[in-house]
Amino acid sequence: MESNLGFLLFSLVFVSIPAALLADETLVWRPDTYPHPRNQFSLCNRNKESWVCDPNHLLAKDEADTLNFVLEQMHSKYTPCPCSAFLCEQNPNGYYMTIILAKKIETGTNTSRPAILSHAMNFVSSLKKRMPFLEDRCDEGIILFYSKDDDILLTYTGKTGHHVLTKDLIEEITIRAGKNFEPGEDLSVGLMKMVLHYRQVLNGHYVPLSPALGGETLIGGVSTIRPLSQAYIHIFLLAILAGLFALIGN
């Protein structure tokens, strides 16, 4: 779905769970109050500049640390510089991605799903405009946004990332990780799956499942994605998963 925001691309999946009732003390975020993960990192529940902002503590600290490490490696090592030769000579780093997490964002009084979707898209678009990154050279930034109580998982790409990380690929990857965004599942595993698959797309190593995207049709029936074993909830195994992807350079 291309919006009237130029080259911005939004892809979203509504997790099929009812929105939770908000506690009185829950902070409802607006684009102008949400903290910047690079220069307001303490408000993002981080102890230094980060690619992860988690002001409502949706992740454990070690889970956020592992995701941040993978995002840093993605930017500095495992994706190519996507900009012009001139810009890449000055800064050879690759794509950068930010994970933005919230318990609830301001969505107004209209609680219909289209209205919530519209507010979420405006939230991320406004956030991107308000949050410049020093690493940005050619609008290559990507935002992975999740609002727990609003039941929204959304990916933003700028005009450069849009050419590689297409709407169809975003939708397939989101669906592959969707099970981990359901109640009782591990949010950090779902986020890690999406980050690693996005990294593979950006460096040319992703293998699609859908034949329409170039994937092979499996012999013997329809392939399904099963949720990870509960053992993968432990951050130790999550770190191993990230390490294996790093070793093979995907």
DSSP state letters, 99-114: EEEES-B---S--SHH
Residue 1 lies in a domain: no
Cross-strand bridge partners of residue 142: 97, 157
- Bin 221: left if φ > 0, else alpha if -120 < ψ < 50, else beta: left
Q: Where are the beta strands (DSSP E) in the chain?
A: 9-14, 52-53, 97-102, 142-147, 152-157
Residue 4 lies in a domain: no
Longest alpha-carbon distance in the chain:
53
Q: What is the pLDDT of residues 130-164, one digit of tens each?
A: 888 888 999 999 999 999 999 999 999 989 999 99
In sequence order, which residues have a C-beta less than 8 Å from that of residue 175 and are 6 or more positions away?
13, 225
In b/e form, how buried is each residue of 57-73, taking b as 16+ CB within 10 angstroms?
Answer: ebbeeebbbbbbbbbeb
Residue 24 has pLDDT above 50, yes or no: no
Residue 50 has pLDDT above 60, yes or no: yes
Residue 2 lies in a domain: no
Cross-strand bridge partners of residue 102: 147
The C-alpha atoms of residue 223 and residue 210 are separated, in whole angstroms, by 10
The C-alpha atoms of residue 150 and residue 71 are separated, in whole angstroms, by 25
The C-alpha atoms of residue 153 and residue 219 are separated, in whole angstroms, by 32
Q: What is the dihedral of CA 162, 168, 172, 178, to 10 degrees?
A: 70
Q: What is the pLDDT of residues 85-111, one digit of tens each?
A: 999 999 999 999 999 999 999 998 888
* Domain hosting residue 34, numbered range: 9-248
Instruction: Report the CATH number at residue 77.
Output: 3.10.310.50
Residue 3 lies in a domain: no
Top-confidence residue, 72 or 4: 72
Residue 67 lies in a domain: yes
* Amino acid, single-letter form, for residue 234: H
Q: What is the pLDDT of residues 198-243, one digit of tens each?
A: 999 999 999 998 777 765 444 433 323 333 333 333 333 444 444 5
Residue 106 lies in a domain: yes
Tally the C-alpha atoms within 13 A of residue 236's C-alpha that lie toward its C-beta.
Answer: 2
Strand order in the sheet with 9-14: 9-14, 152-157, 142-147, 97-102, 52-53
Residue 209 lies in a domain: yes
- The Cα-based distances of 101 to 36, 91, 146, 155 in angstroms read 12, 28, 5, 12
Q: What is the mean pLDDT of residues 181-205?
A: 95
The pTM (predicted TM-score) of the whole model is 0.77
The C-alpha atoms of residue 78 and residue 223 are separated, in whole angstroms, by 29
What is the number of domains present in the chain? Answer: 1
Residue 63 lies in a domain: yes
Going by pLDDT thresholds of 50, 70 and 90, the confidence category of residue 174 is very high
Per-residue pLDDT at 132: 85
Structure tokens at 149: 């109580």
